[in-house]
Structure 1
């Protein structure tokens, strides 16, 4: 499951919700980041997100 949102959230609550019906989970990996507004002299106008569904769900 991938989710991109602007609203604040509680990472512990979201992790608990995602794992509620799962068995045999050995680890959870997550990423939270901040994008800069400029790259050199150019203004950053978008952020591309790619994932492999079979590994990211």
Structure 2
């Protein structure tokens, strides 16, 4: 489960940047998977921090 309010999402020309804080590596991995599953996304940059 993800707390979307703690993850910031920025997009530009198909590139998604995820930043903010997550509770675990599993949560960060899940957020990246969700972003990659969105149509039009060409790559995902993971700048999330585990707190």
TM-score with structure 2 length normalisation?
0.35
Higher relative helix content: 2
For CA contacts below 8 A with separation 6 or more, give which structure has more relative contact order: 1
Higher radius of gyration, 1 or 2: 1
TM-score with structure 1 length normalisation?
0.33
Higher relative strand content: 2
